[in-house]
């Protein structure tokens, strides 16, 4: 065991509405980790704020642990939780978001998503992988609550055997549910996010759904429900 | 004996104190060491862990980090930072059970010994010579290979109530190289669940 190198100070890598994310060493100077820290909100009543923070930290860490127990789905491993302090320390995923992967593909093709033959089997394969992963997650009753291409990461391919592995992050709005409706909404949220972030790659989303459908009978029922959810969404946007 | 300093968590204003740490095999005077601890002999204010319950260096450091975090944030659940290391290893909140499961007993054959440097008096030279004079056993280098040798898989599976270990060798004591990572993940999950269950 060597511990001679000076540990790097924490680096703030993301500042969301609710949480600050730090990259920092954990246990040894060589082990990278992510700390998701929910600081106190000065505009909330302190007692209520403390209760809410604790609730969210417990919810998110329980879901992360649960998801890691599901075959075919990966989330960052949880190393340490301080519910009262608003902290979850978790595995650092060395890679990039699916969002960045798709943007990279588009850039490489002059801004347009290649079609048909041109569409690389790699990108299609990635979409299918996402579909299968969501199928497995939903089958095990985990609903993410905020699916976007930013919240699905791809572990760096150039390294060891975990290369190219998908990892779902950010379970802050997640829940455990057996309801088809909740799962259909989960897919709908991803579909909307997909279309707005990657308008040129809209067609790709079908690859996700195709693979999702193949995961179970339950998944096909969820997809029927997705049609209804889309219809409601359209009506709502016409009214609003 | 080695001396380590764990990196603090982001947002902590107090760094963790340094820790002296040693691993012993073939321990012959565990009963004596245990009795000194029970008697509250100040000279034996150490964290004594039965090494058979430790899966890997990461497992060991995970428990240490928790106890140091409790120490710097004044949230110790036990008497002091040394007893907190033993308690931190436990998957539940039963303190006395934690001591009989993870702490030194009269029957311990392998030991991790911790000394958290909470006073400038606890210099490496002083602690090292006191340990050399006090622990009858063979000091060995701390690494994952050595820990696979001191670990007792059967006891670890029992202590952490790991029921879904489907490997055929779950009745054996030794931890195979290929199993160390998987066992470590299960153990750390159990330690995390204590805080979120
Ligand atoms: N475990 C992790 N490994 C690597 N990067 C991460 C990890 N968790 C979060 N991030 C990065 O931090 C960003 C924000 O984290 P997230 O959990 O999504 O918080 P928020 O609720 O603010 O969206 C992510 O989009 C990702 O870039
Ligand atoms: Mg996010």
The answer on A230 and A136 residing in a single domain is yes
The answer on A150 and A173 residing in a single domain is yes
The answer on A200 and A109 residing in a single domain is yes
The residue from A40, A69, A91 where one domain ends is: A91
Residue nearest to atom 22 of ligand 1 (CA): A16
Q: For ligand 1, say whether the CB of A95 is within 6 Å of any of its atoms.
A: no
- Asked whether the beta carbons of residue A27 and residue B5 sit closer than 8 angstroms, the reply is no
Chain A residue numbers with beta carbons less than 8 Å from the beta carbon of B124 are none
Beta bridge partners of B47: B114
The answer on A86 and A200 residing in a single domain is no
The secondary element (H helix, E strand) that includes residue A79 is strand A78-82
Within a domain: residue A3?
Answer: no
Q: What is d(CA B170, CA A236) in angstroms, rounded to the nearest whole number?
A: 57
Q: pLDDT for B10-31, tens place per residue?
A: 988 789 999 999 999 999 999 9
A68 has a chain B CB within 8 A of its CB: yes
User: How many H-runs (helices) and E-runs (strands) does chain A carry?
Assistant: 6, 10
**Residues A62 and B196 sit within 8 Å (Cβ to Cβ):** yes
Give the chain B residue whose CA is nearest to the CA of A25. B7
The answer on A65 and A132 residing in a single domain is no
Q: pLDDT for B66-122, tens place per residue?
A: 999 999 999 999 999 999 999 999 999 999 999 999 999 999 999 999 999 999 999
Segments of chain A with pLDDT less than 70? 1-5, 7, 113-119, 157-163, 239-240
The answer on A228 and A128 residing in a single domain is yes
Within a domain: residue A31?
Answer: yes
Within a domain: residue A4?
Answer: no
Domain that holds residue A72: 11-91
Within a domain: residue A5?
Answer: no
Domain total of chain B? 1
The answer on A156 and A79 residing in a single domain is no
pTM of the complete model: 0.92
Q: pLDDT for A211-225, tens place per residue?
A: 999 999 999 999 999
- Across the range B136-140, mean pLDDT stands at 98
- Across the range B146-169, mean pLDDT stands at 88
CATH of the domain at A51: 3.30.200.20
B185 has a chain A CB within 8 A of its CB: yes
CATH of the domain at B173: 3.30.2380.10
Within a domain: residue A2?
Answer: no
Chain A residue numbers with beta carbons less than 8 Å from the beta carbon of B2 are 1, 3
The residue from A42, A61, A91 where one domain ends is: A91
CB crowding A50-68: b at 16 or more within 10 Å, else e: eebbbebbbbbbbbbbbbb
B20 has a chain A CB within 8 A of its CB: no
Q: Is A146 a catalytic residue?
A: yes
Residue B33 distance to chain A (closest CA, Å): 25
Q: If we measure between CA atoms, which residue out of B5, B6, B21 comes closest to residue B128? A: B21
For the question of an ipTM over 0.85, the answer is yes
pLDDT of residue B53: 97
- Tokens in use for B158? 């029992």
The residue from A91, A123, A146 where one domain ends is: A91
- Asked whether the beta carbons of residue A24 and residue B7 sit closer than 8 angstroms, the reply is yes
pLDDT of residue B85: 98
The answer on A162 and A44 residing in a single domain is no
| Phi-psi group of A4: left, alpha or beta (phi > 0 → left; psi -120 to 50 → alpha; rest → beta) | alpha
Within a domain: residue A56?
Answer: yes
The answer on A40 and A17 residing in a single domain is yes
Query: What is the CA(A102)–ligand 2 centre distance, in A?
Result: 17
Q: For ligand 1, say whether the CB of A14 is within 6 Å of any of its atoms.
A: yes
The answer on A105 and A85 residing in a single domain is no
The answer on A142 and A81 residing in a single domain is no
Domain total of chain A? 2
Domain that holds residue B100: 2-194
Within a domain: residue A146?
Answer: yes
Within a domain: residue A76?
Answer: yes
Query: What is the CA(A16)–ligand 1 centre distance, in A?
Result: 9
């Amino acid at each position: 065991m060597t511990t001679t190198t000076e540990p790097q100070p924490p680096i703030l890598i993301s500042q969301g509405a609710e949480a600050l994310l730090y990259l920092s060493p954990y246990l040894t100077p060589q082990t990278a980790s992510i700390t998701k820290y929910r600081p106190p909100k000065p505009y909330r009543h302190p007692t209520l704020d403390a209760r809410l923070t604790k609730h969210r930290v417990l919810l998110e860490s329980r879901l992360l642990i649960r998801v890691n127990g599901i075959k075919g789905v990966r989330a960052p491993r949880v190393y340490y939780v301080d519910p009262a302090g608003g902290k979850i320390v978790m595995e650092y995923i060395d890679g990039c978001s699916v969002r960045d992967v798709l943007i990279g593909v588009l850039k490489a093709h002059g801004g347009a998503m290649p079609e048909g033959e041109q569409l690389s089997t790699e990108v299609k394969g990635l979409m299918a992988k996402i579909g299968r992963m969501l199928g497995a997650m939903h089958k095990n009753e985990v609903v993410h609550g905020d699916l976007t291409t930013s919240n699905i990461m791809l572990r760096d391919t150039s390294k060891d055997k975990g290369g190219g592995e998908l990892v779902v992050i950010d379970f802050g709005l997640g829940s455990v549910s057996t309801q088809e409706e909740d799962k259909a909404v989960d897919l709908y949220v991803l579909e909307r996010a997909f279309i707005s972030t990657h308008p040129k790659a809209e067609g790709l989303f079908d690859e996700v759904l195709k693979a999702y459908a193949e995961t179970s009978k339950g998944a096909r029922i969820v997809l029927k429900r997705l049609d209804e959810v889309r219809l409601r969404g359209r009506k709502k946007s016409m009214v609003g | 004996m080695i001396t380590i300093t764990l990196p603090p968590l982001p947002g902590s204003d107090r760094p963790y104190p340094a820790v002296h740490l040693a691993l012993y095999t073939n321990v012959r005077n565990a009963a004596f060491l245990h009795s000194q601890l029970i008697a509250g002999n100040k000279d034996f204010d150490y964290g004594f862990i039965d090494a058979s319950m430790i899966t890997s260096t990461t497992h060991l450091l995970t428990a240490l980090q928790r106890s140091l975090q409790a120490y710097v944030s004044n949230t110790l659940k036990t008497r002091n930072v040394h007893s907190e290391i033993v308690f931190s290893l436990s998957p539940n909140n039963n303190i006395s059970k934690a001591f009989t499961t993870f702490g030194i007993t009269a029957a311990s054959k392998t030991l991790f010994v911790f000394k958290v440097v909470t006073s400038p008096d606890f210099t490496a030279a002083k602690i090292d010579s006191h340990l050399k004079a006090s622990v009858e056993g063979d000091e060995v280098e701390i690494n994952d290979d050595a820990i696979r040798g001191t670990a007792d898989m059967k006891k670890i599976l029992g202590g952490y109530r790991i029921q879904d270990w489907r490997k055929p060798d779950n009745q054996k004591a030794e931890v195979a190289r290929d199993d160390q990572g998987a066992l470590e993940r299960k153990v750390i999950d159990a330690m995390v669940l204590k805080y979120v269950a």
